Amino acid sequence: MSDPLRVAIAGLGTIGGGTFKLIGDNAKLLERRSGREIRLVAAADMESSKKKEFALGGIRWHDDAMPMAEAKDVDVVVELIGGSEGVAKTFCETAIANGKHVVTANKALIAHHGTELALAAEEAGVVIAYEAAVAGGIPIIKALREGLAANRLTRVYGILNGTCNYILTAMRESGREFHDVLAEAQELGYAEADPGFDIDGVDAAHKLAILASVAFGCEINFKAVYSEGIRHISPLDIGFAEELGYRIKLLGIASRANGEIEQRVHPCMIPSEAPIATVEGVFNAVVTDGDFVDTLMQEGRGAGAGPTASAVVADLVDIARSCRTPAFAVPIADLDKISPKPMERHHGAYYIRLMVLDQPGVIADVSASLRDHDVSLEQLIQRGRAPGGAVSVVVTTHETDEEDILKVMEEVAALDAVTEPPRMIRIETF
Amino acid sequence: MSDPLRVAIAGLGTIGGGTFKLIGDNAKLLERRSGREIRLVAAADMESSKKKEFALGGIRWHDDAMPMAEAKDVDVVVELIGGSEGVAKTFCETAIANGKHVVTANKALIAHHGTELALAAEEAGVVIAYEAAVAGGIPIIKALREGLAANRLTRVYGILNGTCNYILTAMRESGREFHDVLAEAQELGYAEADPGFDIDGVDAAHKLAILASVAFGCEINFKAVYSEGIRHISPLDIGFAEELGYRIKLLGIASRANGEIEQRVHPCMIPSEAPIATVEGVFNAVVTDGDFVDTLMQEGRGAGAGPTASAVVADLVDIARSCRTPAFAVPIADLDKISPKPMERHHGAYYIRLMVLDQPGVIADVSASLRDHDVSLEQLIQRGRAPGGAVSVVVTTHETDEEDILKVMEEVAALDAVTEPPRMIRIETF
């Protein structure tokens, strides 16, 4: 039996608490699987009340995490501080500079600084591991980097934010408005008091940028992720989706083709019989397309103390077992820089909903705009009658370029008979 | 850059062909990800016609695989010969004895001799890897052994045989009889000419025994797997299942509780809205329950040249990267011997279908038998009217012990009014 792997945890919030509990509860099991003890030697949190909350036993307490990054008796630090800059970043940099492995659940940090941190780790001969940063308990980083290592991966996509999936599921099931359901999600603890990070797609964009890098062997390019949230999704659109055979999900989709990478996070209409369409509530799912393996889907809990701790500690077990895989599947020097494909050039099908005055000639104007921009109509539904009032008109298109759709939207929005801004949702068929 | 990893393939059938193609097509990618070249140096097949079929280039040809297990210029052998005994086993043993790593897709070999082969490999300081033996392209062995290593796993189950799932899906969609659909599957190449291995549940039982060992850290106990195939599934039962809100799937289910392990392969009725119920056709899926991660489901192609080659080569990449994980998650000496739970003590819900003469008193007799054995009735459906002829009577029960159900079946089968042997299908609610 080798020496214990000595671990220090920075941040004892939800994930830190889960990790602390897991290392305690499953200590024997971890020792059998790792071939050595995984021993918690130090913990830190800015809130010194945590010191009492946790029965720390012989574990050293720090109010400030930084000394742990330099402590002689620490082999690995677990960074659960959060945030892409500031303390979290300095803490990881310091740990690496001091020859310590780093395990983190911090998606923002990896999305913004993953390449440089991994390079520093590579040069220092230590590991930086971040399974917990993407899709919680689903071991997707390991799957992409190792399990599917034989494949040229062409696409990776998924439901990467449980808060949004919970809200969209609840909206569909209850017919309620977005703001209603968001308020409920906040009460239940499924959404933050300040929910923008989740519902505007930023969190999913962080995760997508990380997945794309591992899948395609390219430098993380978070800035190139197109991202759009779910605030504008209405029960009306959810109803039309159902009628058209679709469900609305917030997806993150990264694909590689023709020497370009497309990364986008936005609500999608997907066929209701697609496996990923049946992933509901707070669950996450990631689908991968590879040239030999074909399609693989993984579904599980994307957040929460237990699932995220499962991912954190799996990284610790890998380190304890001396399994070293390059952080982004290949050494940093071998990562490609691949041009991002701008969203205007996205090619796909679209759903557009207009509110129009119920009067003759409107459909003719809309159809003319579509024709003028070479957009081929798939279906047109006018719903209801309201002489003198506004009715819904829904258009779905065949595959076309996004820039043409944007022009159509602009023209149509300017029509006198159109009473509110048109809504557009992209249609994906997998 | 390190020395190349020198690979010899024994068996150039479907999987061997796929592996050969993958190593060629994705050579550059594999080299980047492995940090070294994965180089095919020798290949063998009993059919010497294969020698011409493959453009072998500089690769050495053998009609007999055995010399490759001893060749000085080979680091890893890939065993794709098949069969639990004979050549395949000797080949692997010889390779291990000669200090070579072994990668195999041979589920029968691992299910029967996995423990002893892994012990030999451990003593020789080499790897025996078998990702391709279970669920084709789904990296489930890696997930259990590494991705979920932090968890105490309590259950692992899945659709482990694509042939059966294809047949059951086609039967449900078309309403046709088992033998019809089997014949079609054979024509399409989804079923073997001698289909017993698949449709009688043996193949799924091999895979389940392997999964149970990795998940629970116990010695493989293939003999203890209860296994029952799908020959007796009729369109009538599929129809009743649909009516009751279930789908019929052949599942392999392994669970650990109260110091015992239950391993069983049989057709199940599962709620049609369960994620695994929507896995159709030749796809496989594996679901894992762990104490921290909760539930994880992985779905993908369980067979075929590409997906299986993806798994074989992932194992090669791990070896090239020097990632060494114990074959069954813990060293062989640490594997538990856990008592198998006999099937008579299985506790669950049941569906029983009887064909009975349409005459008074039958239901009373059936109900009395259920009462006498303490089996609590959930639902009873009598379908159709055929005075003087036979009609279907379907009974579903609440959770009860299998031995009681078997007694009920025996008693009911002996009733004069019961015209053919009762059919029983277990109900699973996840």
Best mutation site among B293, B296, B299 for testing chain A: the one with the most A CBs within 10 Å? B293
Predicted TM-score (pTM) of this structure = 0.96
CA distances from B267 to A352, B252, B344, B418, B426 (A): 45, 9, 16, 23, 7
User: Alpha-carbon torsion B49, B53, B57, B60, what sign?
Assistant: negative
Best mutation site among A32, A40, A146 for testing chain B: the one with the most B CBs within 10 Å? A146
Contact at 8 Å (CB) between B178 and B272? Answer: no
Measured from the Cβ of residue B261, the count of other Cβ atoms closer than 10 Å reads 20
Q: Does the model's ipTM exceed the 0.90 cut? A: yes
Contact at 8 Å (CB) between A279 and A159? Answer: yes
- The phi-psi region of residue A364 (left if phi > 0; otherwise alpha if psi is between -120 and 50; otherwise beta) is alpha
**Identity of the residue numbered A301:** R
Contact at 8 Å (CB) between B351 and B424? Answer: yes
Contact B321 A317 (CB under 8 A): no
Contact at 8 Å (CB) between A260 and A205? Answer: no
pLDDT at A342 over 90: yes
Contact B18 A334 (CB under 8 A): no
| Residues contacting B183, CB < 8 A, separation 6+ | none
User: In A272-377, which residue ranges form alpha helices assigned H by DSSP?
Assistant: 305-320, 362-372
Q: Which residues partner with B253 through β-bridges?
A: B157, B264
Measured from the Cβ of residue B355, the count of other Cβ atoms closer than 10 Å reads 17
How far apart (Å, rounded) are the C-alpha atoms in residues B95 and B69? 4
HSE-CB of B298 using CA atoms within 13 angstroms: 28
Rounded to a whole number, what is the distance in Å from the CA of B337 to chain A's nearest CA?
15
pLDDT attached to residue B206: 98
Contact B314 A32 (CB under 8 A): no
**C-alpha distance across the termini of chain A, in Å:** 49
Q: What share of chain A is helix, strand, coil (3-state, %, to 5)?
A: 40, 25, 35
How far apart (Å, rounded) are the C-alpha atoms in residues A352 and A80? 42
B171: part of which helix (H) or strand (E)? helix B162-174
**C-alpha distance across the termini of chain B, in Å:** 49
Contact A307 B292 (CB under 8 A): yes
How far apart (Å, rounded) are the C-alpha atoms in residues A373 and A213? 35
Measured from the Cβ of residue B51, the count of other Cβ atoms closer than 10 Å reads 16
Q: Calculate the dihedral angle through the C-alpha atoms of A416, A417, A421, A427, rounding to the nearest 10 degrees.
A: -130
Q: With a CB-CB cutoff of 8 Å, which residues 95-134 of chain A face chain B?
A: 131
* CATH value of A5-133 in 3.40.50.720, 3.40.50.12160, 3.10.560.10, 3.40.50.150: 3.40.50.720
What is the length of chain A? 430
Tell whether B235 is within 8 A of chain A (Cβ).
Answer: no
Nearest residue on chain A to B277, alpha-carbon basis: A275
Instruction: Give the number of A-B residue pairs with CB atoms closer than 8 Å.
Output: 197
How far apart (Å, rounded) are the C-alpha atoms in residues A84 and A66? 16
Task: Using the structure block, give the residue that is written with the tokens 């996004």.
Answer: A402
B267: part of which helix (H) or strand (E)? strand B260-271
Nearest residue on chain A to B325, alpha-carbon basis: A321
Mean pLDDT of chain A: 95
Domain boundaries, chain A: 5-133, 140-301, 345-427
Complete DSSP assignment for A361-429: THHHHHHHHHHHTTPPEEEEEEE---BTSEEEEEEEE-SEEHHHHHHHHHHHHTSTTB-S--EEEEE--
- CATH code of B347-427, in short, is 3.30.70.260
What burial class does residue A48 get, using C-beta atoms within 10 Å of its C-beta: 0-12 exposed, 13-18 middle, 19+ buried? exposed
Rounded to a whole number, what is the distance in Å from the CA of B352 to chain A's nearest CA?
30
Best mutation site among B22, B28, B141, B146 for testing chain A: the one with the most A CBs within 10 Å? B146
Measured from the Cβ of residue A32, the count of other Cβ atoms closer than 10 Å reads 17
Contact B149 A291 (CB under 8 A): no
How far apart (Å, rounded) are the C-alpha atoms in residues B371 and B377? 9
Tell whether A392 is within 8 A of chain B (Cβ).
Answer: no
Name chain B contacts of A297, Cβ cutoff 8 Å. 297-300
Q: Which entry of A107, A207, A249, A341 is annotated as an active-site residue?
A: A207
Q: Which residues partner with A424 through β-bridges?
A: A352
Contact at 8 Å (CB) between A375 and A337? Answer: no
Tell whether B152 is within 8 A of chain A (Cβ).
Answer: yes
A240, A171, A237: which is closest to A199 by C-alpha?
Answer: A171
User: Alpha-carbon torsion A329, A335, A336, A337, what sign?
Assistant: positive
**Identity of the residue numbered B316:** L
Query: In CATH terms, are B140-301 and B347-427 the same topology?
Result: no
Q: What is the percent of chain A where pLDDT is above 90? A: 90
pLDDT attached to residue A142: 98
pLDDT in tens, A369-409: 999 999 999 999 987 777 778 999 999 999 999 999 999 99
How far apart (Å, rounded) are the C-alpha atoms in residues A32 and B326? 10
Tell whether A81 is within 8 A of chain B (Cβ).
Answer: no
Cβ-nearest to B330 among A32, A309, A323: A32
How far apart (Å, rounded) are the C-alpha atoms in residues B134 and B212? 11
pLDDT attached to residue A213: 98
Which stretches of chain B score pLDDT less than 70?
Answer: 1
Contact at 8 Å (CB) between A230 and A164? Answer: yes
Contact B139 A143 (CB under 8 A): yes
What tokens does A133 get?
């940063």
Rounded to a whole number, what is the distance in Å from the CA of B276 to chain A's nearest CA?
10
A165, A281, A161, A267: which is closest to A211 by C-alpha?
Answer: A161
What tokens does A7 get?
């671990």
Contact at 8 Å (CB) between B239 and B351? Answer: no
Task: Using the structure block, give the residue that is written with the tokens 């393996």.
Answer: A293
CA-based angle A211:A215:A217, to the nearest 5? Answer: 110
How far apart (Å, rounded) are the C-alpha atoms in residues B137 and A293? 5
| Residues contacting B350, CB < 8 A, separation 6+ | B395, B396, B397, B400, B405, B424, B425, B426, B427
Best mutation site among A25, A292, A325 for testing chain B: the one with the most B CBs within 10 Å? A292
pLDDT in tens, A98-137: 999 999 999 999 999 999 999 999 999 999 999 999 999 9
Name chain A contacts of B278, Cβ cutoff 8 Å. 275, 278
How far apart (Å, rounded) are the C-alpha atoms in residues A145 and A172? 35
CATH 3.30.360.10 fits domain B140-301: yes
Rounded to a whole number, what is the distance in Å from the CA of B240 to chain A's nearest CA?
22
A354, A360, A420, A416: which is closest to A387 by C-alpha?
Answer: A360
CA-based angle B282:B287:B293, to the nearest 5? Answer: 150
The topology (CATH level 3) of A345-427 is Alpha-Beta Plaits (3.30.70)
The confidence band for A1, taking pLDDT boundaries of 50, 70 and 90, is low
Q: Which residues partner with A249 through β-bridges?
A: A268
Q: With a CB-CB cutoff of 8 Å, which residues 265-294 of chain A face chain B?
A: 275, 278-279, 290-294
pLDDT in tens, A18-56: 999 999 999 999 999 999 999 999 999 999 888 888 777
pLDDT in tens, B51-80: 888 777 889 999 999 999 999 999 999 999
pLDDT attached to residue B1: 58
Residue A89 a catalytic site member: no
Rounded to a whole number, what is the distance in Å from the CA of A130 to chain B's nearest CA?
12
What burial class does residue A340 get, using C-beta atoms within 10 Å of its C-beta: 0-12 exposed, 13-18 middle, 19+ buried? middle
pLDDT attached to residue B253: 98
DSSP structure class, residue B152: -
Q: What is the percent of chain B where pLDDT is above 90? A: 90
User: In A245-393, which residue ranges form alpha helices assigned H by DSSP?
Assistant: 305-320, 362-372
